[in-house]
Amino acid sequence: MISVIGLDELRAARLSLKGTVGLVPTMGYLHEGHLSLIRRAKAECDHVAVSIFVNPTQFGANEDLSKYPRDLERDLSLIEPLGVDLVWNPTPEIMYPTGYQTWVEVEAMTRPLEGAMRPTHFKGVTTVVAKLFNAIQPHKAYFGQKDAQQVAVIRQMVWDLNFPLEVVVCPTMREADGLAMSSRNKYLEGEDRKAAVVLFQALNAAKEAYQGGERDAEMLRSRMKNVLEAEPRAQIQYVSCADYNTLEELEVIKGKALLSMAVLLGKTRLIDNFVLE
Ligand code: AMP
């Protein structure tokens, strides 16, 4: 496994990889969710590249950039046994040197849901992912369904900008009680950690109703809200039942739909989603 920081080193290392390359972009503090993406890339590509970069431009001014968990040594020790070929761990100065002024922005699809709560978030995500794609030139790029809107936005960007690669979406990995794995779960303590299962429970309640034939989207949103409101520690930011492709809120479910939510538990912000097909 080659681990590089600078762009010149990265280019040299990339040139040494013959055949197909799968890229797994991450912000580090890796868990089983990230590792599942790497395993999938390994199974489908000749080589696997992993980027580890806590991207400052996707954090809002009042968000957790400075305290976002980091442990590069541990991350490297987790991915080396998986057969990763190349790790890129650039600094913020390498990605955004003094004088930097180019941004990639996807429009309508970034406005609802996460975009409504975090108005500058996706501009940072699409810009950094476009830079990763340009620098590493992968054949396939692996993302988690856990960040459903991110997947939709990146797909749109790849289509709009004609990036010659395939976006591969991998299922959400969960803890034994159903909590979606996330680097931010580290912030959850004691009772908040126990209460965090309520997101999974709310999604399941709506899914059961859907499987029972319910197609009224407002009824499904109510089901999720009722479960979340029964947990006094949980503070709802949004609950959504939207079209899977456009992310517009639905009245009636006719095709593929996305149930999603953002919930605060104490100061920790959690998101989760289910796809209804
Ligand atoms: P992050 O380091 O949080 O930016 O995540 C890097 C990639 O891992 C993104 O594509 C995420 O969607 C994905 N990911 C994060 N958590 C999970 C999870 N629990 N299951 C599957 N993929 C995940």
pLDDT per residue over 207-261, tens digit each? 999 999 999 999 999 999 999 999 999 999 999 999 999 999 999 999 999 999 9
Total H helices, total E strands in the chain: 10, 9
Structure tokens at 83: 């057969």
Please tell me the distance from the alpha carbon of residue 82 to that of residue 38, in angstroms, as a whole number.
8
Q: With CA atoms as reference, report the closest residue to 273 among 180, 175, 143.
A: 180
pLDDT for the residue 29: 97
Query: In angstroms, what CA-CA distances link 127 with 29, 87, 121, 131, 154?
Result: 21, 19, 10, 6, 10
From the CB of 146, is ligand 1 less than 6 Å away?
Answer: yes
pLDDT in tens, 9-59: 999 999 999 999 999 999 999 999 999 999 999 999 999 999 999 999 999
Q: Would you say the CB of residue 170 lies under 6 angstroms from ligand 1?
A: yes
> Which residue of the set 34, 47, 121, 139 is catalytic?
34
1 alpha carbon, distance to own chain's centre: 24
Ligand 1 binding pocket includes 124 (Cβ within 6 Å) = no
Q: Determine which residue's CA is closest to atom 18 belonging to ligand 1.
A: 33
Pocket test for ligand 1, best of 88, 146, 174 (most atoms within 8 A of CB): 146
Residues 6+ apart with CB under 8 A from 128: 25, 53, 55, 57, 58, 95
* pLDDT tens per residue across span 186-215: 999 999 999 999 999 999 999 999 999 999
Q: Does any ligand 1 atom lie closer than 6 A to the CB of residue 179?
A: no
Q: How far apart (Å, rounded) are the C-alpha atoms in residues 96 and 240? A: 34
Which pair of tokens denotes residue 176? 């034994």
Sorting pLDDT into bands at 50, 70 and 90, what band is 161?
A: very high
pLDDT value, residue 46: 98
Cα 214 to middle of ligand 1, angstroms: 30
Confidence band, pLDDT 50/70/90 cuts, at residue 63: very high
Residue 231: name the closest of 174, 277, 193 by CA.
193
* pLDDT on residue 123: 98
Those residues whose C-beta lies under 8 Å from the C-beta of residue 150, and which sit 6 or more positions away, are 114, 122, 125, 143
Could you give phi then psi for residue 151, rounded to 5 degrees? -60, -45
Q: What is the pLDDT of residue 19?
A: 98
The answer to whether the Cα torsion of 73, 69, 2, 8 is positive or negative is negative
269 C-beta closer than 6 A to ligand 1: no
Whether residue 31 lies in the annotated active site: no
Supply the pLDDT for residue 248. Answer: 97
Per-residue pLDDT reduced to its tens digit, 70-104? 999 999 999 999 999 999 999 999 999 999 999 99
Residue with tokens 């040139």: 15
Q: Which of 91, 95, 75 is nearest to 135 (CA)?
A: 95
For residue 274, what are its two tokens? 């289910």
pLDDT recorded at residue 195? 98
Cα of 11 to ligand 1 centre, how many Å?
25
Determine contact, residues 241/225, Cβ cutoff 8 Å. Answer: no
Whole-number pLDDT of residue 119:
97
Q: Is the dihedral of CA 129, 130, 135, 137 positive or negative?
A: positive
Residue nearest ligand 1's atom 11 by CA: 144
Structure tokens at 256: 């593929």
The pLDDT score that the predictor gives to residue 73 is: 98
